[in-house]
Amino acid sequence: MVTVKTSFRCLLTCFAAVLLSAVVLAQENRATIVGTITDPQGGVIPNATIKATNVETNAVTTTTSNESGLYTLPFLPVGKYQITITATGLKTLVRENLDLRVGDRLQLDFK
């Protein structure tokens, strides 16, 4: 005969299993690059185009800086990247050989 105590333990075990499954599924396996684009005098550059190229797969992710010169490139697969910044009145800026690992949040400012 099943007792209340046994039923409660079974229910508690199932609940714990569900919670642990949710935690495992929520693990992030990608990286993020954030930063600010400024001119040589320190003024912010809005509407700059930021392009992240995974040099191993040639996959490209693009974003634009906001009115404060800030940008975010989220959900990038791990790998080696080249970052290119283009904006009106600003010479093209390039950073190469950036290694992104799982969970990285890289602060990459350009001037």
* Token code pair at residue 102: 């799982």
Q: Enter the pTM of the model.
A: 0.74
CA dist., res. 82 & res. 61, Å (int): 11
CA dist., res. 100 & res. 17, Å (int): 32
Going across the sheet that includes 60-64, the strands are 60-64, 49-54, 79-87, 90-100
CA dist., res. 69 & res. 108, Å (int): 12
pLDDT tens for 69-111 read: 999 999 999 999 999 999 998 899 999 999 999 999 999 999 8
pLDDT tens for 52-78 read: 999 999 999 999 999 999 999 999 999
* Residues 55 and 82: beta-carbon distance below 8 Å: yes
